[in-house]
Chains A and B, each alone.
Chain A
Amino acid sequence: MNRRGSYYRYLNRLGWLCVAPAMILYCLFMLYPILSSLYYVTRKWRGMSNTFVGLGNFARMANDNIFQLSLGHNFIFMFVQIPLMIFLALILAVILNQGIKRMRGAFRVVFFLPCVTSLVAYSVLFRILLQSNGLLNNLLLNAHLIANPIGWLNNTFWAKVTIILALTWRWTGYNMVFFLVGLQSIDTEIYEAAEVDGASKMRQFFRITLPLLLPVILFSAVTSTNGTMQLFDEPNILTWEGGPANATMTAALYIYRQAFVLNSDYGYATALSYVVVLISGAFAFAQMRLLGGRDK
């Protein structure tokens, strides 16, 4: 009994020792910054000057239209781009799963490649393709689809379209792979039974494929929502500093600019990031409830 106890104590100690490096790093680089942000959020902190302002940073935020506008852009991208992307990914996954028999692996690689390319590299490339004298405009002009070049990067409306298209290009393949795995895990016997019952392909898709794939779709939606809330690289590089005229400014980019580009306003940037964390948290919570609800 006693020997068993000391053995468990030993195991316990070894266990703690093994997780200690990860714990120490976590405390140093996650927990400590999070806790210290509670302090900084109440400060007007610029360079070496650091004074207490209480809720002043939040009061300033209430009058900051540019931040509200940036959050609005996050939502626009979220509500337009995520459904579009999931729809496309679903179609691609079904086609790859059923329609195409040969070269399936090659297609999968081609669709998956965009999301492993560097964010900066693809943003720079898209920038060149989308210039007013870029490849895309030239193609459209030569095909006589448009009379004047489209301001993909210069026009406040088209710049938003550009961001949505770029995000869709980058992430559709990634989500498609999840759907593909989901599709392959659906038992073929179910389809055979449906076939026997005389259900059309369309009906099979809506009554069998879609419901059984729902958990995967929800998972994709959750991760994409999170990603869109943190959207940074594309508006910073592709449409350049959230341009034109803040038309693609996002919350994360605005926080970065307040802290590191404009006037080193670390306290205010911290307060802004609190709002983003709260919103992301609320989304994640809602979606987890949605996901969890299906398991029960």
Chain B
Amino acid sequence: MKKGLLSLFVLIIAVSLALVVVDSCAQKPKPSKVTVWCWDPNFNGFSMKQAAALYNKAHPEVTIDIVDIPQDIDAKIEAGLQSGGSGLPDVALFQDFEIEKFIQNYPKAFVDLKAAGVDYSKFAQYKVGPMTSGNSVYGIPFDTGSTGFFLRTDMLKAAGLNPDDYQKDLTWADIIKLGETVKAKTKKALIAYDSTSFDFLRIMVQSTGTQFFNKDGSLNLRTPAMQKSLAILKELNDKGLLYLAEGWNNWVSALNNGDSAGFMNALWMIGTLKSKPDNAGKWMVIPTPLLDGVPGAANASNNGGSSWYVFDSSKNKKIAIDFLKSTWASSDPAALDFYNTILKGAGAMGTYLPSRNGSNYTAPDEFFYKSQPVFKDFSTWMEKVPVLMYTPNYMTMRDAVRNATNLLFQGKIKSADDAIAAAEAEYKQTASK
């Protein structure tokens, strides 16, 4: 009888093992399914859904599964790459500033799309830089992070100013003067600033075409652009012109609740602003302020942006490449119309140059003050964005500079030069060698 118990036990294990095997066989993906990972269902997820709909018109047999990975998408992808591709999707979206790390650390992870026949001369060149390694280009550029300075016209009016006087190229000195007037008249800060973020400083420095790294990958923080940007930030903070928000959510509510008269960021903020319809007609966007006196300074900059990549481990590589090529990189009228759709639907401005003739690019936008055609403006400013270089240590540099800026605001660091030295010191400790 005891023997019987034992054999029953073994039998149970054997049966459950067999079930697991059968189950895993049944779950094998069908050959005509492409899985895509991205992280914002209202923005990049929405855009990819439109691309899938377009592709399905010609290829109804292909299922395109768009999965929203709201958190830790990088860690998930790292784990997949370490295990040789298991658990990875066919296509994933990567931030431009992070892709160099992946391309360098995992040289064979992505499909060379230049070799697969994508014509990169038709994309904004600054997007192609980070995804290039040697003769290979690995991604399909998605959106631009063309930046501007957003202002609440109702608050300017409350301060006795005419918003139309500011609808032009300004310098940071003009902005400080404007901020002082607004502060004196309305008691409000001019700029909402997220103190956990590096974006503001990045936009300032990049408006001059200055890179944070040298060509050989070493740190490049002792630049006129950094010095001037940090000095201006300190002045803005000391004069009380910044509304310091702690983190993204706090910052967004500050914008929408009118805790400040403006902010500076990229055009992908438009969707967030529109989520508060009460503010219709109040916002206007002016060009990114000029870091005058710094060589290469322009009234334009870039913040963020991401691109699509196909994993080499994908079993449906051919379909995935064909899908991306015939939607995101095609000058077919239907594909160009798709770009026009996602601009209106999600505020996602692609970087495929032929798409810029779409009707929504020039259309007036009633949400903005005097129906400003904001997309036309952002698209014009995008032309001035220089090629950006990120390197694998970008995140380390970002943290170091953000922390130094924070200490500068708190008065624990006295000058811009000291802040740069502190950032360099932290980078030296934390960066991998």
Q: Which residues of A contact B (CB under 8 A)?
A: 10, 14, 17, 44, 46-49, 60, 63-67, 127-128, 131-133, 153-156, 240-241, 243-246, 257-258, 260-265, 268
Q: Which residues on the A side are within 8 Å of B107 (C-beta)? A: 48
What 0/1 pattern do residues 60 to 78 of B give for CB contact below 8 A with A?
Answer: 0000000000001011001
B392 in the interface, Cβ–Cβ < 8 Å? yes
For the complex, what is the distance from the CA of A246 to the CA of B429, rounded to whole Å? 13
Q: Which residues on the A side are within 8 Å of B104 (C-beta)? A: 47
Within 8 A of A (CB), among B403-433: 403-404, 406-407, 410, 412, 425-426, 429-433
Q: Which residues on the B side are within 8 Å of A156 (C-beta)? A: 407, 410, 412
Interface-centre pick from B106, B195, B404, B426 (highest chain A CB count, 10 A): B195
Which of the residues A65, A131, A243, A244 comes within 8 Å of B429, measured between beta carbons?
A: A65
A66/B426 contact (C-beta < 8 A), A132-B244, A240-B247, A262-B396 known: yes
**Are A245 and B407 in touch, CB under 8 angstroms?**
yes
Within 8 A of A (CB), among B388-403: 392-393, 395-396, 399, 402-403
Which of the residues B81, B246, B402 comes within 8 Å of A132, measured between beta carbons?
A: B246
Q: Smallest distance from the beta carbon of A41 to chain B beta carbons, Å?
A: 15
**Are A243 and B2 in touch, CB under 8 angstroms?**
no
Q: Which residues on the A side are within 8 Å of B399 (C-beta)? A: 241, 257, 262
For the complex, what is the distance from the CA of A17 to the CA of B412, rounded to whole Å? 63
Q: Smallest distance from the beta carbon of B317 to chain A beta carbons, Å?
A: 19
For the complex, what is the distance from the CA of A242 to the CA of B210, rounded to whole Å? 29
Q: Which residues on the B side are within 8 Å of A241 (C-beta)? A: 196, 399
Interface-centre pick from A132, A153, A244 (highest chain B CB count, 10 A): A244
**Are B430 and A264 in touch, CB under 8 angstroms?**
no
13 contacts between A and B (CB under 8 A): A17-B6, A64-B429, A127-B247, A241-B196, A241-B399, A244-B403, A245-B402, A260-B72, A260-B74, A260-B75, A262-B393, A263-B101, A263-B432
For the complex, what is the distance from the CA of A265 to the CA of B250, rounded to whole Å? 32
A243/B196 contact (C-beta < 8 A), A47-B81, A262-B395 known: yes
Q: Smallest distance from the beta carbon of A236 to chain B beta carbons, Å?
A: 11
**Are A154 and B244 in touch, CB under 8 angstroms?**
yes
**Are B106 and A47 in touch, CB under 8 angstroms?**
yes
Give the size range of B's interface with the partner. Answer: 35 or more
Within 8 A of A (CB), among B96-131: 101-102, 104-108
Q: Which residues on the A side are within 8 Å of B249 (C-beta)? A: 128
Q: Which residues on the A side are within 8 Å of B433 (C-beta)? A: 60
Which of the residues A10, A47, A131, A261 comes within 8 Å of B2, measured between beta carbons?
A: A10
What 0/1 pattern do residues 305 to 334 of B give for CB contact below 8 A with A?
Answer: 000000000000000000000000000000
**Are A244 and B393 in touch, CB under 8 angstroms?**
no
Q: Which residues on the A side are within 8 Å of B431 (C-beta)? A: 262-263
For the complex, what is the distance from the CA of A133 to the CA of B2, rounded to whole Å? 70
Interface-centre pick from A10, A153, A263 (highest chain B CB count, 10 A): A263
Q: Smallest distance from the beta carbon of A93 to chain B beta carbons, Å?
A: 35
**Are A48 and B432 in touch, CB under 8 angstroms?**
no
**Are A154 and B429 in touch, CB under 8 angstroms?**
no
Q: Smallest distance from the beta carbon of B6 to chain A beta carbons, Å?
A: 7
For the complex, what is the distance from the CA of A48 to the CA of B393, rounded to whole Å? 16
Q: Which residues on the A side are within 8 Å of B78 (C-beta)? A: 260, 264
- Closest residue on chain B to residue A267 by CB atoms: B432
Q: Smallest distance from the beta carbon of A259 to chain B beta carbons, Å?
A: 9
Interface-centre pick from B6, B72, B410 (highest chain A CB count, 10 A): B410
B377 in the interface, Cβ–Cβ < 8 Å? no
**Are A14 and B6 in touch, CB under 8 angstroms?**
yes
B259 in the interface, Cβ–Cβ < 8 Å? yes
Q: Smallest distance from the beta carbon of A252 to chain B beta carbons, Å?
A: 15
In the A-B complex, the 7 residue pairs with the closest CB atoms: A47-B105, A245-B403, A245-B406, A153-B246, A265-B432, A260-B75, A240-B196
**Are A243 and B406 in touch, CB under 8 angstroms?**
yes
Q: Smallest distance from the beta carbon of B84 to chain A beta carbons, Å?
A: 10
Within 8 A of A (CB), among B359-382: none
For the complex, what is the distance from the CA of A263 to the CA of B2, rounded to whole Å? 57
For the complex, what is the distance from the CA of A104 to the CA of B192, rounded to whole Å? 48
Q: Smallest distance from the beta carbon of A53 to chain B beta carbons, Å?
A: 10
**Are A245 and B404 in touch, CB under 8 angstroms?**
yes
**Are A46 and B105 in touch, CB under 8 angstroms?**
yes
**Are B393 and A263 in touch, CB under 8 angstroms?**
yes
What 0/1 pattern do residues 135 to 175 of B give for CB contact below 8 A with A?
Answer: 00000000000000000000000000000000000000000
For the complex, what is the distance from the CA of A192 to the CA of B259, rounded to whole Å? 63
**Are B9 and A17 in touch, CB under 8 angstroms?**
yes
Q: Which residues on the B side are within 8 Å of A243 (C-beta)? A: 196, 403, 406
- Closest residue on chain A to residue B10 by CB atoms: A17
**Are B406 and A64 in touch, CB under 8 angstroms?**
no
Q: Which residues on the A side are within 8 Å of B406 (C-beta)? A: 154, 243-245
For the complex, what is the distance from the CA of A48 to the CA of B259, rounded to whole Å? 47
Q: Smallest distance from the beta carbon of A81 to chain B beta carbons, Å?
A: 22
Q: Which residues on the B side are within 8 Å of A132 (C-beta)? A: 244, 246
Within 8 A of A (CB), among B242-285: 244-247, 249-250, 259
A133/B259 contact (C-beta < 8 A), A48-B107, A260-B78 known: yes
Q: Which residues on the A side are within 8 Å of B75 (C-beta)? A: 260
Q: Which residues on the A side are within 8 Å of B9 (C-beta)? A: 17
Interface-centre pick from B101, B196, B247, B395 (highest chain A CB count, 10 A): B247
For the complex, what is the distance from the CA of A257 to the CA of B430, rounded to whole Å? 10
- Apart from A131-B250, A245-B402, A246-B426: 20 A-B pairs, beta carbons within 8 A: A10-B2, A17-B6, A46-B105, A47-B81, A65-B429, A67-B429, A154-B244, A154-B246, A154-B406, A154-B410, A243-B406, A245-B403, A258-B430, A260-B75, A262-B399, A263-B101, A263-B105, A263-B432, A264-B78, A265-B432
Q: Which residues on the A side are within 8 Å of B102 (C-beta)? A: 47
For the complex, what is the distance from the CA of A19 to the CA of B149, rounded to whole Å? 65
Q: Smallest distance from the beta carbon of B8 to chain A beta carbons, Å?
A: 12
Q: Which residues on the B side are within 8 Å of A66 (C-beta)? A: 426, 429-430
- Closest residue on chain A to residue B195 by CB atoms: A154
Q: Which residues on the B side are within 8 Å of A47 (C-beta)? A: 81, 102, 104-106
Q: Which residues on the A side are within 8 Å of B395 (C-beta)? A: 261-263
For the complex, what is the distance from the CA of A262 to the CA of B392, rounded to whole Å? 8
- Closest residue on chain A to residue B2 by CB atoms: A10
